[in-house]
Amino acid sequence: MKRLRVFIFSFLLALLVSACTTTVAPTSTPTPAATIQPISTPIYTYSSSLPSLADVVAKVKPAVAYISVEYLDTSFFFQTLTTKTGSGVLLSSDGNILTNNHVISDARKIEVLLPENDQTYEAKIVGSDPLSDLAVIKIEGQNFPTAEFGDPSRLRIGDWVIAIGNALGLEGGPSVTQGIVSNLERSFTMDQSAYYDIIQTDAAINPGNSGGPLVDLEGKVVGINTFIISSAENIGFAVSTNTAQRVYSDIIQFGHVIRPYLGMTMRTLTPALSTQLGLSRDKGVLVWYVAPDSPSDKAGIKANDVVTRFQDEEVREASYTIKLLWQYKVGDEVKITFWRDGTEQEVWVTLTERP
């Protein structure tokens, strides 16, 4: 009987020990491999969704021209034959190149070097437009690599853009810089050139970049790099191809740019200017001067009228009004709404060619 109790006790104790060892997991057991996050696993994957900038550059670079201009530099006592450099972009397979007017102004001789074949060509001026600081030159030949215009209206502030050009005239081909669109539709006047449709970018633009293309991530030209603010950092400007494309087309077709003409000088109206002139409104576009026998004069517009709408679109800045004007052609009729002596009036103006 005693042996039976010992046997039963031993048997129960063995069962208890067995149960404990099968239900309690050791503290050193590793986490199953399927749930481990290795340290080397990339977490940030946004960059993989961007197109390769190298592919974009390879697409556009063959069409970027190095321009060398020989000109006569005149000082108070001397005249010196000197050289300046810039950039351009090939837009036709037979050699038409769009660049800046200030790159080729006063040129005695223009030479173009293409990165694709490392060959130098002598160029001639097809036409220039100091007002927009754009020009077209031409080299002789066929089957040149070309770039194509993009649509700047699709750009948003913060979009990536790439500037390509011959910065500082460095040997070895164009320089490439990347940045974003810092602002759109800037308008101002500088060195007797009126800029009404300007893209601001923080992509590095240096002397020698002038006339080169600013391209989007599809490799299409959305601007022509023109100048920088030297006293600031990363503030560069390119003429939007909304303007450049029309200038290029007119020069190719007519040898010069045909612009519509209202025949009035405008200023952005400010509260201070309104008070000074005793006007009843302090916002809008002030008519500063009307040329005799001009389209505006014939329509009855007078100095000190305040334009508030152009083709039913509200206008508050003179530069923006001119930008809207340049969207129309010679012979078009445009509706102008203005205030005079507290009364709103509307007139239709038939546009003529800018003299």
Indicate if 256 belongs to the active site. no
Please give the pLDDT value at position 212: 95
Are the beta carbons of 338 and 349 closer than 8 angstroms? Answer: no
75 is catalytic: no
Domain 152-254 top-level CATH class: mainly beta
- Domain residue limits, the chain: 57-139, 152-254, 260-353
Question: One of 68, 87, 102, 296 is an active-site residue; which one?
Answer: 102
102 carries an active-site annotation: yes
What digits encode the pLDDT tens for the residues 277-292?
999 889 999 999 999 9
Rounded to whole angstroms, how far apart are CA atoms 230 and 122? 31
67-106 per-position pLDDT tens digit:
999 998 887 777 888 999 999 999 999 999 999 999 999 8
CA distance 168 to 84: 10
Domain 260-353 has CATH 3.40.50.10700: no
Among 129, 132, 133, 182, which one carries the catalytic annotation?
133
Q: Where does 57-139 sit in CATH, by number? A: 2.40.10.10
Q: What is the pTM for the complete model shown? A: 0.77
Do 152-254 and 57-139 fall under one CATH topology? yes
**Of residues 87, 210, 240, 296, which has the active-site annotation?**
210
Average pLDDT score over the chain: 84
List the structure tokens of 104.
């080729």
Least confident of 1-5, 47-51, 87-91, 169-173: 1-5
